[in-house]
Chain A
């Protein structure tokens, strides 16, 4: 079984602090990590490979430093990595990202299963999986919390939907997006990690020309959406004491909660 796993290197948002004066993000010293959901996808790929043989590949689009995410995935037991790095891929929205990833998967050609994490912690969009599936014309299974059965023609999974789960069967090839409940990702092995950092490591770099895509289709140029501004949501505590008897105070509190979309 040949498995392609899509991964993303992201800033560790749990470490992110905002400058209390300006409200700007402080990005210095923030570690780049493999997106947490993607780590679960890698674990699926490696454990399926151990069971069914075949080849496992990770694909990641990002700056040259994103090679660390690929090296770590190889440390976890993935066979090969492909890094899609090109200045022209920069500034891509989800559509342009999925288009680029889709082109790379078409170039790889041989696959039975495509895996990705449900969503990335920097964007939280959860769009890449379904968009790539649509680009390739594959069935998609999102929010997968358990893989019950898989053989070379079909897969049965549980999809976690918050209020319960759905058992679904799909033919292969298919794309699945996984959630954290699925497994506990292994830590990389030192020997594999050392291999991944060697000159002859099985990591390939593809640029726009390798994918035969025009600059107009990728990166910011290919994006259909534009970020027009960013701002910090909140700088400091309100520090407001709610007065009145308990009914009045609770009434005011409810207003505040609703006003900030907390209920």
Chain B
């Protein structure tokens, strides 16, 4: 007997969850700007936070495709919720999962999958964004571990996280070859954070600066090998990019769904504006971009699930879907006319939120350069 198709079924289940639990409260969450603990708990209860990890560590035994379907649907309801979930499933916990000890799994990974502890991933510094060779947060070897000093900025979950996977420099002379990831719980003495940033979009995302003042962590908190920080990042970089693509797809679908509904309802000159060809052109472009982006993105997830390298494809998917999402949100506000300018409708939120995707997972200027390099070398 033929079994159900998990990809279709999961999408259906997630769509229902988003329609019933997320969309009705999305505006409220965006306005308050608080972390959506209640939704995060519901997501955890569905086993979503462990979707990428095998059952033996308490995960749900899924894969990258199922992960991306989930975050795409969540992003359709509220982009920042999709991003928060995506972070918890991947960047915040992958190093912990791959390189952490059983004890660390017990103390941090399992609670993270149950939604009881929030994790985060810290790369960016005032002087180091796309250029990671300039990371200045310093890790110095001590007798029984590492001592960390420095700061990170644009730290997602900085004010609320329970643990961080932090990129540090062990030897500034070595540049990229001196990088190392360290696991730092926020109850480590010497850890502190600034007040929360006020953001244009993805307003439930809690961003701040974080500071390390002689933070001491044991040897086993080094994630991966000494000087191999970049390799740790590269292990999941394709997945980070395609996840960002999935977020963009979700936002795009939200913008398109709202546009379709609105243009069929809005009547001008005696007929719905959906009957005008310039509106139709906008809808057609949204649909084509969405279809192309979906094909690109899920091609990548299936490659990742088969362990086939695909960083270039992932970069292209991220670049294309994000640009499409920005266009879709822009066009949506035009279809809505003045209502697109009103805080009462959701399209303004898509318009603000989409900016986040331009920077998360690599700026497009850098992405274009790396994509071009594949063809020009």
Answer yes or no: A and B touching, Cβ < 8 Å. yes
Residues of chain A having any CB pair with chain B under 8 Å: 31, 33, 64, 67-68, 71-72, 75, 83, 186-194, 196-199, 201, 203, 205
- With A and B bound together, what is the CA distance between A33 and B12 in angstroms? 9
Q: How far is the CB of A77 from chain B (nearest CB, A)?
A: 11
Q: 10 tightest CB-CB pairs across the interface, nearest first?
A: A191-B60, A197-B6, A71-B4, A190-B47, A189-B47, A190-B60, A205-B1, A197-B4, A191-B47, A68-B4
From B3, B45, B55, B59, give the contact of A197 (CB < 8 A). Answer: B3
Is the pair A67, B4 in contact by a Cβ cutoff of 8 Å? yes
From A67, A72, A187, A198, give the contact of B46 (CB < 8 A). Answer: A187
Considering only residues 1-33 of chain B, those with a C-beta below 8 Å from chain A are 1-6, 8-10, 12-13, 16-17
Question: What residues of chain B lie closer than 8 Å to A187, measured between beta carbons?
Answer: 13, 16-17, 42, 45-46
- With A and B bound together, what is the CA distance between A244 and B8 in angstroms? 57
Known: A187-B17, A190-B47. A72 touches B9 (CB 8 A): yes
Considering only residues 46-79 of chain B, those with a C-beta below 8 Å from chain A are 46-48, 50-51, 55, 59-62, 66, 70
Is the pair A71, B3 in contact by a Cβ cutoff of 8 Å? yes
Is the pair A67, B42 in contact by a Cβ cutoff of 8 Å? no
Additional pairs, 20, CB under 8 Å, beyond known A67-B1, A191-B59, A205-B1: A68-B4, A71-B3, A187-B13, A187-B42, A189-B46, A189-B47, A190-B46, A190-B47, A190-B66, A190-B70, A191-B62, A192-B47, A193-B10, A193-B13, A194-B62, A197-B4, A199-B3, A201-B3, A203-B1, A203-B3
Question: What residues of chain A lie closer than 8 Å to B12, measured between beta carbons?
Answer: 31, 68
Is the pair A193, B6 in contact by a Cβ cutoff of 8 Å? yes
Is the pair B46, A188 in contact by a Cβ cutoff of 8 Å? yes
Question: What residues of chain B lie closer than 8 Å to A64, measured between beta carbons?
Answer: 1-2
A sample of 13 cross-chain residue pairs with beta-carbon separation below 8 angstroms, ordered by A number, consists of: A31-B12, A67-B4, A75-B9, A75-B13, A83-B1, A187-B46, A190-B48, A193-B9, A194-B6, A196-B9, A197-B3, A203-B1, A205-B1
Q: Which residue of B lies closest to A188 (CB)?
A: B13
Question: What residues of chain A lie closer than 8 Å to B9, measured between beta carbons?
Answer: 68, 71-72, 75, 193, 196-197
- With A and B bound together, what is the CA distance between A72 and B46 in angstroms? 12
Q: How far is the CB of B76 from chain A (nearest CB, A)?
A: 15
User: Chain A CB within 10 Å — which of B12, B55, B66 has the most?
Assistant: B12
Question: What residues of chain A lie closer than 8 Å to B1, measured between beta carbons?
Answer: 64, 67, 83, 203, 205
Question: What residues of chain A lie closer than 8 Å to B50, measured between beta carbons?
Answer: 190-191
Is the pair A190, B51 in contact by a Cβ cutoff of 8 Å? yes
Number of interface residues of B (CB under 8 A): 27
Question: What residues of chain B lie closer than 8 Å to A190, measured between beta carbons?
Answer: 10, 46-48, 50-51, 60, 62, 66, 70
Is the pair B47, A67 in contact by a Cβ cutoff of 8 Å? no
Q: Which residue of B lies closest to A31 (CB)?
A: B12
- With A and B bound together, what is the CA distance between A75 and B66 in angstroms? 15
Is the pair B48, A197 in contact by a Cβ cutoff of 8 Å? no
- With A and B bound together, what is the CA distance between A67 and B10 in angstroms? 14
Question: What residues of chain A lie closer than 8 Å to B4, measured between beta carbons?
Answer: 67-68, 71, 196-197
Q: How far is the CB of B196 from chain A (nearest CB, A)?
A: 30
- With A and B bound together, what is the CA distance between A71 and B51 in angstroms? 18
Is the pair B60, A194 in contact by a Cβ cutoff of 8 Å? yes
- With A and B bound together, what is the CA distance between A196 and B46 in angstroms? 15
Question: What residues of chain A lie closer than 8 Å to B16, measured between beta carbons?
Answer: 33, 187
Q: Which residue of B lies closest to A189 (CB)?
A: B47
Is the pair A72, B61 in contact by a Cβ cutoff of 8 Å? no
- With A and B bound together, what is the CA distance between A120 and B5 in angstroms? 25
Question: What residues of chain A lie closer than 8 Å to B55, measured between beta carbons?
Answer: 191
Question: What residues of chain A lie closer than 8 Å to B3, measured between beta carbons?
Answer: 67, 71, 196-199, 201, 203
- With A and B bound together, what is the CA distance between A71 and B47 in angstroms? 16
- With A and B bound together, what is the CA distance between A64 and B46 in angstroms? 26
Q: How far is the CB of A187 from chain B (nearest CB, A)?
A: 5
- With A and B bound together, what is the CA distance between A52 and B47 in angstroms? 23
Q: Which residue of A lies closest to B70 (CB)?
A: A190
Is the pair A67, B2 in contact by a Cβ cutoff of 8 Å? yes
- With A and B bound together, what is the CA distance between A196 and B10 in angstroms? 11
- With A and B bound together, what is the CA distance between A71 and B6 in angstroms? 9
Q: Which residue of A lies closest to B55 (CB)?
A: A191
Question: What residues of chain B lie closer than 8 Å to A68, measured between beta carbons?
Answer: 4, 8-9, 12
Q: Which residue of B lies closest to A201 (CB)?
A: B3
Q: How far is the CB of B4 from chain A (nearest CB, A)?
A: 4
- With A and B bound together, what is the CA distance between A210 and B5 in angstroms? 26
Question: What residues of chain B lie closer than 8 Å to A198, measured between beta carbons?
Answer: 3
- With A and B bound together, what is the CA distance between A87 and B333 in angstroms? 50
Q: Which residue of B lies closest to A75 (CB)?
A: B13
Q: Which residue of A lies closest to B20 (CB)?
A: A187
- With A and B bound together, what is the CA distance between A231 and B2 in angstroms? 35
Q: Which residue of A lies closest to B7 (CB)?
A: A197
Question: What residues of chain A lie closer than 8 Å to B5, measured between beta carbons?
Answer: 197
Known: A196-B4, A201-B3. A189 touches B42 (CB 8 A): no
Q: How far is the CB of B134 from chain A (nearest CB, A)?
A: 39
Question: What residues of chain B lie closer than 8 Å to A205, measured between beta carbons?
Answer: 1
